[in-house]
Amino acid sequence: MENLRDLYQEVILDHNRNPRNFRKMEKPDGFAHGNNPLCGDQIDIYLKIRDGIVEDVSFDGMGCAICTASASMMTLALKRKTEQEATALFESFHHCLTEDEPHPEDVPLGKLEVLAGVKEYPVRVKCATLAWHTFLAALKHRQDSISTE
């Protein structure tokens, strides 16, 4: 039970109870639906990009506490990041959850560090990364739609 507090930290429980940027977005520049078929987690990510910078990102859906908190914290971390910075942040976050040693190119995670406890629960890593994968899909989807114009 004690180790569990590393996973379910107060910050995480708070984001789960009161998720930030938990809303649909009118006319997003990017959108993707994320689905974890094994556990039924479903997340929609909405994205507004101006001049290569994430101006707004929000989410909607249903998931476990780890999934919801991670999505909520992600929306805060991504704001005003360039696409490259956002991608680098995802990769660093992913390393933190899945690998013992940081990579040399990893960027500081800031408040996302609180999710590092998920590493001890390998089956839950997919819960913590669902929002991020969906964000990347939303980013790509936007680029795809631009390229078809």
Partner 1 sequence: MSGAAPYDVTARRLDFPILGRSVHGQPLVYLDNAASSQHPRQVIDAVGHFYEHSYSNIHRGVHLLSQEATLAYETGRLAARGLLNAACSHEVVFTSGATASINLVAQSYARPRLKAGDEILITHMEHHSNIVPWQMVCEQTGAVLKVVPINDSGELEMDAFEQLLNERTRLVSVVHVSNALGTVNPVERIVELAHEQGVPVLLDGAQAVPHLPVDVQALDCDFYVFSGHKIYGPTGIGVLYGKEALLNAMPPYQGGGDMILSVSFKGTTYNNLPYKFEAGTPNIAGAVGLGAAIEYVQSIGLDAIAAHEHELLRYATERLKEIKGLRIVGEAANKAGLISFVLDRVHPHDIGTILDSQGIAIRTGHHCAQPVMERYGVPATARASFALYNTRNEVDALVEGIRKVIGMFE
Compare residues 118 and 138 and give the one whose CB is closer to partner 1: 118
> Taking CB under 8 A as the rule, does residue 41 contact partner 1?
yes
Rounded CA-CA distance 57/25 in Å is 8
Compare residues 89 and 127 and give the one whose CB is closer to partner 1: 127
> Taking CB under 8 A as the rule, does residue 114 contact partner 1?
no
Q: Are 43 and 131 in contact (CB under 8 A)?
A: yes
Shortest Cβ distance from residue 59 to partner 1 (Å)? 15
CB neighbour list of residue 116: distance below 8 Å, 6 or more residues apart: 96, 97, 109
SS3 143: helix
> Taking CB under 8 A as the rule, does residue 42 contact partner 1?
yes
State which of residues 14, 55, 62, 80 lies at the interface with partner 1 (CB under 8 A).
Answer: 62
Rounded CA-CA distance 115/69 in Å is 9
Compare residues 124 and 141 and give the one whose CB is closer to partner 1: 124
Name the one range near partner 1 by CB under 8 A: 79-87, 97-105, 119-127, 141-149.
Answer: 119-127
Size of the site for partner 1 (CB under 8 A): 23
Rounded CA-CA distance 61/43 in Å is 4
